[in-house]
Every structure is written in C-alpha cells, then in structure tokens.
Structure 1
Amino acid sequence: MKRFISLELLLTLLLLFFTLSTFSQDVNYDPDKKYILGGLEVTGLQSYNEQTVKTYTGLRVGQPISFRGDQISAVIKKLWGLELFSDIEFFVTRIEGETIFLELYIQERPTLSKVTIFGVKKRKVDDIVKETDLKKGKKITESLIANTKNYLQNKYKKQGFLNTRVNIVTAKDTSETNAQSMVINVKKGDKVKIKDITFEGNEKLSARKLRKSMKNTKKRKPGRFWKKSKFIRNDYSEDLSSLIDKYAENGYRDARVLADTVEVINDKRIKINIKVEEGNKYYFGDINFVGNSVYTDRQLGQVLGIRKGSTYNGVLLRERIADDSKPDAEDLTNLYQNNGYLFSQINPVEVSAQNDTINFEIRIIEGKETFLNHVTVSGNDKTNDHVIFRELRTRPGQKYSKDNIIRSVRELGQLGFFDAEQIKPDIQNPDPNSGTVDLAYSLVESGSSQIELQGGYGGGGFIGTLGLSFSNFSIQNIFNGKAYKPVPMGDGQTFALRVQASRTFRVYSLNFSEPWLGGKKPVRFNLSLSRTQQFLASFSNTGRVQVNRDQQFSITGISLGLAKRVQWPDDFFTVSHALSYQLYDFENYRTGLFNFGNGTSNSLAYTIGISRSSAGPGRIYPLTGSIFEVTAKFTPPYSLFSDKDFKSLRERSEELSEKRATEGLTAEELTELETVDQERFKWLEFYKVKFKGDWYTRLVEKLVLRTNIEFGFLGSYNADVGKVPFERFFLGGDGLGRNFTLDGRETIQLRGYENNSLTPVDPITNQQEGGIVYNKYSMELRYPLTLKPSASIYALGFLEAGNSFNNFQEFNPFQIKRSAGVGLRIFMPAFGLLGIDFGYGFDEDLRPSAVGQGPSGWQTHFIIGQQF
C-alpha cells in the first residue's frame, strides 16, 4: 500500500530543517535534548529596541528549549509574519551543562524616506501617494512594491491606457538610518480606442442593435463626445451581460457568448470580435401564481403585465418581479412591500418548456405582516425633532411601506435643511417571527440661512443691498437669549429681511412663513410687508445724476396667505389663498411711464392657487417628478357698482395719449389726461391667470432634462375701463426685475435677449408698457459637477422660446422668439443660488430700435437668487 507525505507535513519538515541549519555548528549540542534558556542576545538591530524584539519572540530566560519540536520554528514564523525583517537567524553561542545561550540575528527591512513619481501631473502626485499608502516610514517589502505597481497599472487601464507600464526602483538614502527612497516611473502611453466591434453568428439581431446594447463599450465614432470609445475590462464584462439581456428581451433566452477576442491593431487601436449563439425564439405560456393569499391572481397578473403568447422577455419578467433600478417601480415586490410585507419573497420558476413556449410559476412566500417598531432620527444638530417627525410618513405602529419611506426621504429633502444626497433610511433589527422592524433616518444638516450683502454701480449711483434670510427660524425663541446661535433656529419657519437703496430708490421688505400653523396640520401661513420708493432722477449738463426727492413714486403693500396640503386627488396637491393690498402713490412723478403723475391707485386682490409638487428628492437639484401651478388673482369688479362713465374716460384717455405720442400736449391737456386716468384707476380692477409646469426626467444617472411651460394672461372685466397699467408681463433677459420702478410687474426670464426686450410696444404710446399675455417654453439639460453640502454646482444647456402680446386677439402660441445657450449654477447655503448664462437669441426683439437689426445675438446673464 502506497503512502504519501502530506503537504503540511512536508512544509513542517522543511521549516524544521531550515531552523536547525540556522544554528551555528561551532558549538556542539544535542538536538534531541531539552535545554534551559540561559540568555538571548539580539544582534543586527538598527532602529528597533532589543527588548522589544525579545518580547516579540515570546522566549523567556529559564524556560525549556527543544529543537526537535516546532518551538523555535514558531518563533521564526511569527517574526517573518511581522514583515519587518528581511533575514532572521538563530545561533547557539555556548552551552553550560543544561543551560543554553542563543543569539538572534535579524536584518531590518529599510523604511521609506521619500517618493518621487514621474509621468503624472504634479497635482495628482499627492492623491497617488495617499491611495497607495506610500507614507514616510513605511517598511519597503516586495509585496508593497508589487501592489503599488499593480494598482497604478490597473488605475490607468481603467481610464483607457491599456499599455500602461510602471517601473519602481529603490535606492539607499544616506541621510537617514536604514532608509530608502523610491522612484516610480509611470508610462501611460496613448489611450487605446476601439476601432470596431464585430459579431459572428448573429442572424436574428443586427450588429447595430447589439452594439447599441453595450452601453459603456463603444467603437470610435467622430463627433460622439458624450461616450468615449475606451476599453475598460470591467465595463466590457458588464456589457457582455447586457448583450445577452438584449437577446432575452427579444425572446432568445438561450443566447450566449461563445467567444470574444480583443485584437491589438497598434498601440492606439484595438478591435473586438464577439461570437454568439442565438438559439431559438420563445414565447410566454401559462403564468400561474402559487402561495398568494393577500392578492388575487388577477391583481398580481395586472401588475405583472405579461400575457400568454407574448414574446419571451427575461429582462421584463425580472423587472416586473423586482426592478432594482427604480426604488418606486410598479413591480410585484413593491406591491407587497408597500402593504406591510417586508419579508415577502417572489421567485419566477420555469416549470416546463414545450416546443417554443415556456410555462412559469410565480412562487410567493408572503411572510408575516410587518409593522414599524421604533423610528429614530439622527444628525439633526440644529433642527428640532418635531419639525422632522411631522414630515415623516413612517410612524411607530404603522405597517411597513417602502413607498412611505421614499416619500419621507423626499419630504425631508424638500425642507432644504439637510443634504438631500445624504438622507439615508436604515432598516434595523428585522424580525420575521414577530413581524417588526426598526427604521432609522441618518441626516446631515446643511446651511439653511442666507446673507445677501452686495454693492454695485447702476442707475447713476451706488446701489447697496443687505438681505438676511433664515429658512429654519424659531420665532418662539426670539426673546430667548440662549437660543441665538447666531439667531433662534430649529422650528422650520422662514424669516427674511431685505433692504436695497441707492440715491434714486429704496426697497424694504419683510417676510415671515410658518409651514405648520397650529403645529397639527400642514397649513402654511405667510405674511409679507413691503415698501418701495422711486425718486425722479435727471442728468445735469455735466452728466451728473440729480435726484429730486419731492418727486417720487411709492408702493406700500401687505399680503396674508394660507396654503393647505390636501389629500385629493393625491397628497402632492396644495391649495393656497392670499389676500393682498397695494397702495400706489404718485407725487409729481411725471416720467411717461404712467398717464398720471399725481394721485393714488389702490389694489385689493384675492389670489387662489392650486399646485402639485412631486419633484425630488432634493430641492436644489431635482432628479425626477414635476411641479405644476395654476393661480388666479381677482380684484372686485368696482365698475359694476359705479355710476362713472368709464367708456368716455377710456376714449378720452386714448385720444390724449395718442396726441401726446405724436404732437405733444398742452399743460391743460396733460392735467386733463392725469385727471381722467386717476378716475379710471382709483381702484384697480382686473383678473390675472397664470400657469407654470416643470417636468424633471432623469436620462442617465444624474443627467436630468427639465422641461418648462408657462402662460400668463391679464384681463379686465369691463372693456370700457380698459387695461390696467400695473401687474403686466415684461419678458426677456435674466428675469430678475432690475427695473426699480416695481409697478407690480412680473419679469419673465428668456435668455438670449436683453432685459424686457421681448415686451410688446403699445400702438398708442409707442412705448413698451408691458404685455397682457405671454407664453414661454424651455428645455434645460442639467448635469451636476458636485452636490456637496458646502456647494452644489451643476452645468446646463438650454433651448428657450416665448413671446408676449398686447392683447389676447394677437396671441399666437407659435409666434415665438427663440434662443439657446449654456450656463452654470452654484448654490452655496450662505449665499443662495448664483449663476451665469450665455445665450444666443435667434430673432429680433420687440423694441422699436431693434427693427431690421437682425438676431439679438449673444447675451450674458448673471443669475442671483433665481428659482431652482
């Protein structure tokens, strides 16, 4: 009978032989005899303490020593395992009777003193040193050098540099004890591009379709900058799976890759050939559900959405069972998990395949109904717990619902108090037996207060702005000195103050908002106070601005609003109400903008709005969802209760206005015009309807398409009264409303044109007095550069079109002014949203001076505080 020596025994014998051979043969000793260790001397040390090394060995004076066992070999193995030494040897120095004295000679590995890297950009050197852990004092080992070399080669191969070569050499550093410097030379070479991808064996699906299914491995194509033709091994392996999935989507479940080869053409180009076997085309047969009691077969079949006889699609079947790409997908797994069955399991099983038809069983283990046990929140250092918990759709004792968790994450992100990218719900302590689970939300506070402090030159003088906005304010602690850090925070209220002033105007505003009035229901209360003063300015002969404060136009306003989140048609809807009053006061303010320079106008209006907002998860950079808003603003129809002859007043006003534009008016006629319009607009009467819709569509990862539609119309109840001179639409430019007259106008952004330049010209006065109706369309492609709490930055490209009109009869939604461009947005919590856009207008604007001048051309727009 043959006997074999095990590998473990062989290694033990070799180690024992090596151990015995390391002892000096000058002193005779009996290897079978046990000795008492009389002393241990450590030699060869350069940086380590002798006692430290003795401690590592575990050998103590007075203990028995045997050379036949594994006692000494274990010590050597332990010291080698430290990877601190390049040589280890034991010597017998002398023997006195039963006592033996040993010497341990070690050679320390050199330490790393410095690293020099060639072949990479200087700014990348520190990152490489950190990634490879080549810090000073590191022991230089063969594995360190090999791992560093492999890491760098793989790093650059992933970037498409397939011919990367890395050489590492070390040299003695005489400036330090037992130290070596390291020089790394990286030769990346040229990026290797894929010249072509060819297929063999494909008869059912074209090579074009197969190449398209490979999302990350593309052949070189001129002009395609958004997807590179680099060859990255991991991406290529994933794309081979995607190729098989493409066949599975078209009924070929047996398709497989027989072989794939990467042919090197030269240092810059490779060619990929993939040989496939397609197999036969299959169809879905019977699909039966097994184990379901919560939902009927019909209900499950409606969600599955696959009918008998349809082409087999393995990818679709997998997605209808559980779509991992969408957390809120309409699939069977979410159907159960949104109704409390966290521990449910759903598995499709092929039970038979007859000819070209495959029959399935969807086997369901429903598990026990699951309820939330504990719901906790962490990371809210500033925001009070009640502000967070009132937004959560997950409460202790409720059924587990994945949909409620997703909605809670969105609501927390919409608050703006936390970094939406880092809101992490964590399912803890799941217990299938008791049917309970704990849920923990991890939050990271982000800045919720903003300061606006800026100065500039415009309008003939210096303009200063001071604004403070606190979006997580706590008014109940306003008299609590201890709560000022630097202001009372944590209750989710909004408090904003803004002051802007120059020699020619002043603006004061105060806004307060409470999102949960009474603390029990999501009813938002808003209070807004504002005061604007515009002084008449003129230029002297020397070009200096002269301001007359006795000639001014002022607006004083107050607004109260309530907005309630409703449950129908769904709980994304909000209904809002607002009551506002504005007093327009003219004191000898004759500029031609209005027909009267003395007197007052009053505007008392009620606004109702219906909105639906499902965009998220973040407020700054939404990835999905939509925002719709319809508002209607009404004033009382005063003319119905007045005995004034408004028709005669309007006709006389139009007659005098036309004469002023063509011939000029006498002093008496100017006074008459002011009196007539003062009578017409003592109390403004109008209605104003607006619609705005935004859609956010995630295309790939965080590449988002924002689609926008806007419409606005300012109407009058009584044609005899005419159109009010306030509340009009001014279209074009950055949309920031830089005209300081603030006559209740709305400035609408349309980039690529100068501010207000798409405002129609009034045929009577030949001036741009504001549009009565406008429409706007835009598409914006966004991509984030960073979404960190300290600063969110994203780039964008846009297409926009729109126009405004003097009356509804002239309105044509297809008669539009077009533009396109690119831009950048930076959101910093302390300063809000900042940005810049470069837009090109393809058409003439509506100003009289622009007629016949051709396209608007390139315009630069600076964005401050624009809506997201």
Structure 2
Amino acid sequence: MGKQVSNLTNISPYKTFIKFCFAILLMTVSCFNIQAQSLNTNKKYTIGGISVLGNSSFGEQTIINFSGLKKDQEINIPGEEIGNAIKKLWGTKLFNNIEVYVTNIENNIAYLQIRLEDLPQLNELKVNGVKKGKIEGIVEDNKLKKGTKVTENLITNTKNFLTRKYKKEGFLNTKVHINTIEVKDSLKTARVNMVLNIDKGEKVKIKDIVFNGNEMISDKKLRKAMKSTKKINRLRILKRSKFVDSAYQADLSSVVDKFKEHGYRDARIVSDSIIYNNDKTISININVTEGDLYTFGDIKFIGNTVYTDKQLNNILRIKKGDTYNGVLLQERIADNSKPDANDITNAYQNNGYLFSTIRQVEVSADNNVIDMEIRITEGKPAYFNSVSVVGNERTNDHVIYRELKTRPGQLYSKAEVVRTVRELGQLGFFDAQEISPNFNNPNPVEGTIDMEYSVKETGSSQIELQGGYGGGGFIGTLGLSFNNFSMKNIFNKEAYKPVPMGDGQRLALRLQASRFFQTYSFQFSEPWLGGKKPVQFSTSISHTKQFLFDFINRRADRSRSFNITGITFGLAKRLSVPDNYFTLSNAIGYQRYDLNNYNTGLFTFGDGYSNNLSYTIGLTRNNTRFDPIFPTGGSNFSITAKFSFPYSTVNGVDYTALREERDLNESITQNVNSTPSQVQNARDRISEIDQERFKWLEFYKINFKGDWYNEIAKNLVLRPLVEFGFLGAYNNDRGAIPFERFFVGGDGLGQFSLDGREAIQLRGYPNQSLAPYDKSTGQVFNDGATIYNKFSLELRYPVTLKASAKIYGLAFLEAGNSWNSFKDYNPFNVNRSAGMGVRIFMPAFGLLGIDFGHGFDPLPGTTEKHGWETHFIIGQQF
C-alpha cells in the first residue's frame, strides 16, 4: 500500500498550494501504489466500490473474491486489510504485478482499483541435454506440465533442483539454463513456451584422495574404508572413480568409523576440500585429527535379569584391555545390517523381549581407558495377539498360514519373524522383495503385539512355447507349469481363471517333438500331503520315443526306435533336527527302455529291453534367503543316493563267466584273422550277453552339491559351488550300466533323452563335450561318464528385482571334468573357463538368460584351447 496523503481542509492558502503540489508529486510515483486523494491518517473508510484493471482471463468478481475485500467493508488506509488483500492475490499463484490503488474518496467512502496481470501458463516445454526417457521424470519432479503457472520461483527452483540432482550423480559441472518465450493467442491468455537446456558435462573422476593429520592409520587403509569414493585405478572394475556427493558424504563417516575401529574414539574430519585439476579431474584433500588411542576398561551390565553377565559377555566378546572399537561395540549390541546377527538385542528379541531397550554409556575415560555400562531395560515379554496376512488375492489363506512360524499367543521371536519372511518368499507365489512384516498396536503395558505380513502376489504360472532348428530338423516345444495349482477345483467351472489356482500345488505338462524324437511328460506335487504336516508328495509320468538317424538319406528311420517310459513317486519331509532347514526325501522310480532295431555305440544290443527299478534317498539343507531367484545369503547342500536292487546276488547268474565269454568274443571282433562270419557271430553273442547283463539295471549312484551365497557388498553376491557325482556297480563283472551317466559341458539343460542321464553345466564348452579321454589310445568316450566333479565361482549383481522382471548380471569362473574310473580320477585335472552373462526372470516365462564363456583348455582329443562359446538358458533353475 502506498503512502497516505493528509486532509487539506483548514490549511492556509499558501500551505494549501504546497500540499496540493506535493500530492500531485506523490501521484506520479508508482512505488507508492495509491492515487493521491484527501485522506485522514489512521481513519477508517468504507469501501464504496472495487474495480479491476489488467490483462486477466478471470472475471472481475472472481478476482475481488480472491482478494477478500468487499463493498461496504470498513478498512484503515493505510492498514492491514489492503496488505492482506495483496498477500491473498499473490497466494493464489495466478497473478503477477499486483497493485491496489485508491481512485476516489467521497465523504469517507473510498473507491479501490486492483491492477494485475495473469501469470503466464506453460504452453510447451522442450528439454535439451538428456535422454527422452528421462524427460517425463523431470516434468513430474518439477511440476512442469502444460498449464502450470510460470513464476520466477518455479524457474529458480527448477534450476536448483536439477543442478543438485546431477551433482549428486557425479556431474559436478552441471549447468541449467531456462528460457521463456511469450506466446500470443486469440483468447489473450498469457502463455509461454519454455526451453530447458541441461548441460551435465562429463562425470568428474577422482585423481587422488589425500589425507592430512593421520599418523597411525595409513592413507591406503582410509581410502579402502571409502566404499564408493575411489581414485582412478585402471585395474579396478567393480568400483568407478566418479565423484558422487551423497556417496562421498557417507564415505566420510566411514573414515571416522575406521579410526574408531582402531581405538581412536575422538577422531573426526576437521575439513575437506575439492581441487579442480587442469585435466578435468578433481583431487580431494581431507584433514583429520586422530586424537588419542583408547582401550576398553570395565564393562558392566545394568538391569539384566533374563541373562546373566556371563551369558551377555559371551555375546559381546569384548574384554577389558582390548583396543577400543566403537563400531564393533555397536554391532555386538545391535547389528542393524543383519536381521539374524548374533547380538545382545537379538538375544532379547528372540526370547520375547520386543520392548527391551539397550544403551551403552561411557561412565569414565580416565587415562584413555573407557569404562562402560550397558544399561538394559527388559520390559515385559511380548506375545503375538493376532497374526494376519494381507495382499493375497489368488493364494488361499491356508496355504500361507501353514508356512507362518509366528502364531497368536506365541512368545515373540524376531528370528521366527525373519524365518516367516523367508518361507513366504520361498513359496514362489509372492514377490520376495515386497514381503513386509508390519508391527501393529504394540502394547508394552500388556505385552502384546499384532503381526501383519504384507505380500504382493506375482505370476506363479509359466508357459514355454518355442520353436527352433536343431539336430537336423525343426524342434517345437509346448510347456505349461502351474505353480499354485488347485487340484480339488479341477471340476469347478467357476475356478478357471484361467485355471484353478490357490492351493500351492504344482502341475506341469510338457510336449516336445521333432522328426527324430517325441517327448511327453506330466508332473504333479502336493507340498502338504493331508494338509497338516509339511510332507510333499510328488509324481511324474514321462514317455519319449527316439528314431534312429539314417545317414544315407539323412532322415529319421521310424522303423528303428528307442522308447523310454517312466513313472516316479516321491515323498519329502521337513525335519526338525539337526534344525528345521533339513528335508529328507524318498522316491521310487521305474523306467522301461525298449529298443527296436536301434543299434548305436551306446548299446551293444539293438533289439531288447531294460528295466530300471530304483530307490532314491536324499538329504537337503537349504537356508538361502530371502528371494529364491536372487538369494543374498545362506547355503544349499544336498546329498542323494540312488540304488537299484542287487539282482546279481540272488538271480543265480554267473557274471564272471559271462564277462570272460564277452571278453573272448570282443577279442574275436578285433582280431584281423577272424572271418566275417566269426565276427558277426561274436557280435551277436555280445548282444545276447549284454541283454542279459542289462535286463534289470543294477547300480548305485551318489551325488553331492553345495553352494553358498555371500553378500560381499550391497547387492553384490558371491556364489561358490562344488559338485561331485559317482555311478558304481555292485558287481564289477556285471559292470557299469549304459544309463544314468554324467554328461559334462555346456548350458546344463537336460536334453530330450529320459535315460537318467545328468547334464552338468560347464560353460565355455559345447554341450556334453567334456567326455572321458584315454590319452594312451586317444579314445574319447562319448557315452557318458561314471565320475565327475565341478567347481564354480559366480559373482552376481542385480539390475532390477521388481516383480514384473528380475534381472541380474553375472561373471563366472568354472572348472570340471569327467572320468570312467577312480584310477584315472584327478579332481584337479579339469577344464577351465570364465565368462559373463545375464539372467532375466519373468513370472510368465521363467528364467531366461545368455552366457558368454571362454574355454581355456582343449576339448578331449584335441590340442588347441576351445575359446568362446555362447549358451542360451531357458527355464533352468537358479
């Protein structure tokens, strides 16, 4: 509001003239914002009318309403009312150049005029300097949608936001320029086009990090403590040397923690500075003060009744005289980085004391010896009042509740909450990254807590539909896998959405066919047989028909076939000892092998059959957490043994004589002096002997597999793996069977054969190429091995772990080989490889991936290293 002009009544004529001239002068000064009139200071006036002047799309009455002023309202001039009116108009964020004038006064009635202009609306926005995919985010973050009112504040805030944003990402030289161009239209609406130019420049690399003031801890150790801020090192791959301010600030705290870990409790960062070098890099100078070296003195526990001092000291594991380590002390009291850490807080929370509080207090620091008190307020034990699950729409409640380790009325245990999150994630029906335990209605007085597990369902069914060219012809595959099936609703039409779902059962159907083979398989499993105990029942039925390849006309000879039909029944039970991560599994399987004029190197008889009745027992311990697709911790060990009945001990066949007779006939076939008829007769007899040997397969088979998952940095997971397998015979005269063998090399995906063979992944080499090799004869045994071992080291890092698609990259080192006897077995005589790959998991299609592996050793029977091999992974488990 402008200055008030005094009343000219009762003033002498010459003074009147002076006052009048002064009033005219005031009227010409725009900063006063009020037209000169005859006003009394601090006198109330009645608003006689309000007019509006200026370029605005809003109606006059609307603007007056925005101002809060009304006709016949009494106001002071000058006074708060007009000032508040101007504030309200500014507060609408709709107008610009707002001024209020008094245009006329008649007998204490003032007439006002509001002069303003509409703020321009944003018409079009053009963003230069960033990728198209980033523009939408910039618009959302800065509210730059079409129609937004463009103010100086908006422009300034946008510049500051983008500059800070890109500097945090390492673009220290970011420059942001915003230009607005007025647009005129027929509606006379104020509009502007905005051009947003972003010049991020290059990310600034760190040439050097220099510490000053440190004497006891070297620069190298301090730089190592900085996890994300690294100076240029061309040999380092995983961490770049780009400067990111947010990461740098966190790393400064890590430097202080490094001093505290070595006893320098009073260490601190005095100052830090960034120096811009001429080569467009920066150097960082960090000035520190170490302070004195401290040691632990007496450590006393105050308030503990549940645990004795001795028990708590066994968890704390810090003794008087130890070098002071504040970081370690905090971890032993409450390690927030590990939900299942062995610390004092978890000891209490796993025993029901959810409401306990534990604080460490320094009571003395004389002579650089710190005496500590760990003060514990135990509170009342907490019990679960209610336990619920939200977010499941397809999965039935009983499928979820049977996996919960926490029950109403049960004593609270943090370990059981963590275990429940793992079990829900392992089901495969929910996004493991989205499972959240929510603590509701905590009541320390009553000692109760309501537990709610929030889940987000993800697609649990998969479809495999593919076609390709291989093995001399087109191969088509149709596979359906329903991992949350409901068999009881199979005849309920209303349950088909598109199939009956929700009971946690698994149903899989697969059909694969080409000119040379046909494969059909059906699998079903119920994880809780009877619904009361975690006893899994599973069954599978399969049939495959293979046709011999005719090398003359290069077609499948359908008159010569090898048929395999099999059925398996299995039971697996979770154990409670040694702990409840163990599973004991049992299975009985039967396969029938029928050969119809099918003569290959694998079999010495082309017509006949074999029967395989076997029993498999396995012990598995799996405590991987939490996401089964991308585990970040835990391990998975399994050992299985597969046995057939020892027929040779009861059937009365003299296998020693058969072996000797077979060896004799084998020598006839290899003797150059044997006549063709003698050779043919010898081969026929060998076929008869082998038909007798393999009429009922006799064998035992041992497999071991173990892998570990270690999160060595945030989301960076190291996975070591060891595998071993052995196929043996009860009776050496009867010999090893031609089925159930190990085929090492390649992507590890099982082929169409159902003869019990195991395809062992070893990337960097062709599929099933690392066969046993006899150096003395130069013979490669391509019919599979009876022994193998494999070592693998894999480093994984996720790109995204969202429910729609989980993607992670990997790098690997692998080594392995196969043998046919223990006399040749050497676990370190292996073929080595290295490479990298990517995995993509989509709920509808399962796991997809590609690996590029480099084999460093020659294939059996060759002399040059194999080199690069590409592997496509489809449907392989993790």
Quickly name the TM-score band, shorter chain normalised. Answer: over 0.9
Cα–Cα, structure 1 residues 228 and 548, in superposed 2: closer, same or farther, change >3 Å?
closer
- Give the Cα separation in 1 of the matches to 2:85 and 2:309: 69
1:596 aligns with 2:596: no
Displacement of 1:660: 4.7
Q: Is 1:844 aligned to residue 854 of structure 2?
A: no
Cα 1:658–1:95 change in 2 (3 A) is farther
Displacement of 1:24: 2.4
Do the aligned partners of 1:657 and 1:765 also contact (CA within 8 Å) in 2? Answer: no
Give secondary structure in 1 for the equivalent of 2:193: strand
> Percent identity, aligned pairs only?
58
Q: What's 1:9 paired with? A: none
Q: Conserved in 2, the CA contact under 8 Å of 1:160 and 1:231?
A: yes
Question: Structure 1 residues 32 and 254, CA, compared in 2 at 3 Å: closer, same or farther?
Answer: closer
| Partner of residue 155, structure 1 | 165
1:271-310 alignment to 2 at 5 Å? 271-310=283-322
Structure 1: distance between partners of 2:80 and 2:749 = 84
In the alignment, is residue 719 of structure 1 matched against residue 729 of structure 2? no
Larger mean Cα displacement after TM superposition, 173-182 or 138-147: 173-182
Look up the equivalent residue of 1:174 and give its one-letter code. Answer: K
1:316-345 Cα shifts (integer Å, max 9, x gaps): 001111111111111111111111111111
C-alpha displacement of 1:93: 4.0
Q: Give distance in 1, aligned partners of 2:117 and 2:589.
A: 87
Structure 1 residue 142 and structure 2 residue 142: aligned? no
What is the CA-CA distance between 1:216 and the residue it aligns to? 2.1
**Aligned partner of 1:189 among 183, 189, 201:** 201
**Inter-partner Cα distance in structure 1 for 2:285 and 2:779:** 73
**Residue type at the aligned position of 2:34:** F
Distance 1:33 1:683 in 2: 118
For 1:363, the equivalent position in structure 2 comes to 375
| 1:764 to partner: Cα distance | 12
Residues 517-571 of structure 1 deviation map (CA, whole Å, 9 limit, x = unaligned): 1111111100111111112231345xx41x3323211111110000001111111
**Which amino acid in structure 2 is aligned with residue 340 of structure 1?**
G
Classify 1:457/1:30 alpha carbon distance in 2 versus 1 (closer, same or farther; 3 Å): same
SS of the aligned residue for 1:411 comes to helix
Pair 1:170 & 2:180 matched: yes
Number of the residue aligned with 1:670: 683
User: Aligned partners of 1:238 and 1:662: how far apart in 2?
Assistant: 80
Structure 2 CA distance for aligned equivalents of residues 683 and 469 of structure 1: 33
Whether the 8 Å CA contact 2:351–2:412 is kept in 1: the answer is yes
Displacement of 1:21: 4.4
Please give the alpha-carbon distance, in whole angstroms, between the structure 1 residues aligned to 2:93 and 2:449. Answer: 46
Post-superposition offset of 1:396 = 1.6
Select 2:789's aligned residue among 748, 770, 775: 775
Aligned residue number for residue 14 of structure 1: none
Which residue, out of 651, 656, 666, partners 1:647? 656
- Partner residue of 1:623? 632
**Structure 2 residues without counterparts, runs of 5 or longer:** 1-28
SS of residue in 2 equivalent to 1:809? coil
**Counterpart of 1:800?**
814
Encode CA deviations 1:324-377: one digit per residue, 9 max, x unaligned. 111111111111111111111111111112313211110001111111122221
Residues 771 and 780 of structure 2 are in contact (CA less than 8 Å); yes or no, is this contact kept in structure 1?
Answer: no
Closer, same or farther in 2 for the Cα pair 1:661/1:463, shift >3 Å?
farther
Q: CA deviation at 1:491?
A: 0.6
SS at match of 1:570: coil
User: Would you say 1:505 and 2:514 are equivalent positions?
Assistant: no
Corresponding residue for residue 538 of structure 2:
526
Q: Within the alignment, does 1:379 sit opposite 2:388 as a pair?
A: no
CA distance in 2, matches of 1:264, 1:580: 72
Pairwise CA distance, 1:438: 1.5
Measured in 2, the distance between the counterparts of 1:270 and 1:782 equals 31
Question: Does the Cα contact within 8 Å between 1:193 and 1:219 map onto a contact in 2?
Answer: yes
Range 372-381 or range 190-199, more displaced? 190-199
d(CA) in 2 for partners of 1:656, 1:35:
130
Match of 2:558 in 1: 549
Separation in 2, partners of 1:501, 1:786 = 35
Q: How far apart, in 2, do the equivalents of 1:460 and 1:210 lie?
A: 61
Residues 761-810 of structure 1: per-residue CA shift (max 9 Å, x gap): 58899642211111000011111111111111111111100111111222
**Correspondent of 1:24 among 23, 28, 35:** 35
Task: Give the counterpart letter for 2:681 in structure 1.
Answer: E
Q: Which residue of 2 aligns with 1:269?
A: 281
Q: Structure 1 residues 134-143 or 220-229, which shifts more?
A: 220-229
Matched residue type, 1:458: G
Distance 1:456 1:187, change over 3 A: closer
> TM-score scaled to structure 2, two decimals?
0.92
The answer to whether the Cα contact below 8 Å between 1:661 and 1:764 also exists between their aligned partners in 2 is no
Q: Quick one: structure 1 residues 659 and 619, their matched pair in 2 at CA, closer, same or farther if it must change by over 3 Å?
A: farther
Residue in structure 2 matched with residue 728 of structure 1 by the alignment: 741
Shift of 1:30: 4.3
Alpha-carbon separation, structure 2, partners of 1:766 and 1:56? 92
TM-score (norm 1): 0.93
Q: 1:413 aligns with which of 425, 428, 448?
A: 425
Superposition map of 1:694-773 within 5 A: 694-738=707-751, 740-761=752-773, 767-773=781-787
- Within 1, Cα distance between the matches of 2:667 and 2:125? 83
Matches within 5 A, 1:487-498: 487-498=499-510
Deviates more, 1:816-825 or 1:97-106: 97-106
> Which structure 2 residues correspond to residues 196-207 of structure 1 after superposition, within 5 A?
196-207=208-219
For the 8 Å contact 1:20–1:67, the answer to whether it is kept is no
- Of 157-166 and 651-660, more deviation after overlay is shown by 651-660
Q: Verify the 8 A CA contact 2:740 2:758 in the aligned structure 1.
A: yes
Preserved CA contact (<8 Å) 2:834 2:853? yes
The CA RMSD over aligned residues, in Å, is: 2.1
> How big is the shift at 1:189?
3.2
> How many Å separate the matches in 2 of 1:213 and 1:372?
42
- Change in 2 beyond 3 A, CA 1:328/1:19: farther
Please report how far the alpha carbon of residue 263 of structure 1 lies from its aligned counterpart in structure 2 after TM superposition: 2.5
Figure out how many residues of one structure are paired with residues of the other and give that number.
Answer: 842
Structure 1 residue 430 displacement after superposition: 1.4
Following TM superposition, by how much is the alpha carbon of 1:392 offset from its aligned partner in structure 2, in angstroms?
A: 1.2
Q: Following the alignment from structure 1 to structure 2, what is the Cα–Cα distance between the partners of residues 523 and 498? A: 25
Distance (whole Å) between structure 2 residues aligned to residue 139 and residue 815 of structure 1: 74
For the residues of structure 1 that align with 2:779 and 2:821, how far apart are their CA atoms?
15
1:564 maps to which of 569, 573, 597: 573
Call closer, same or farther: CA 1:506–1:22 in 2, change over 3 Å.
Answer: same
Distance in 1 between residues matched to 2:62 and 2:446, nearest whole Å: 54
CA distance in 2, matches of 1:59, 1:558: 89
Partner of 1:67: 77
Equivalent position to 1:638, from 647, 652, 676:
647
Is 1:855 equivalent to 2:868 in the alignment?
A: no
1:581 aligns with 2:594: no
Between the aligned partners of 1:659 and 1:706, the Cα distance in structure 2 is 53
Within the candidate set 119, 124, 148, 2:129 is matched to 119
Question: Is it true that 1:517 corresponds to 2:526 in the alignment?
Answer: no
Displacement after TM superposition at 1:642 (Å): 1.6
Per mean C-alpha deviation after superposition, the further-off stretch among 591-600 and 761-770 is 761-770
Give the CA deviation at 1:273.
2.0
Cα distance change on mapping 1:74 and 1:654 into 2, 3 Å:
farther
**More displaced 10-residue stretch of structure 1: 594-603 or 93-102:** 93-102
What amino acid is aligned across from residue 632 of structure 1 in structure 2?
Answer: A
Preserved contact between residue 486 and residue 503 of structure 2 (Cα < 8 Å): yes
Q: Quick check: 1:466 aligned with 2:478?
A: yes
Aligned residue number for residue 459 of structure 2: 447
Counterpart in 2 of 1:257? 269
Pick the aligned partner of 1:58 from 68, 88, 91: 68
SS in 1 for 2:857: coil
Bigger mean CA deviation after superposition, 161-170 or 727-736: 161-170
CA distance in 2, matches of 1:69, 1:800: 84
- SS where residue 865 of structure 2 aligns? coil
> Would the aligned equivalents of 1:190 and 1:267 in 2 still touch at CA under 8 Å?
no
Q: Which amino acid aligns with 2:480?
A: L
1:814 matches 2:828: yes
Whole-angstrom distance in 2 between the partners of 1:662 and 1:468: 54
1:149-208 deviations in whole A, cap 9, x for unaligned?
A: 111211221232222222222221224721112222233334322222222222211111
- Are 2:129 and 2:199, in contact at CA under 8 Å, matched by a contact in 1? yes
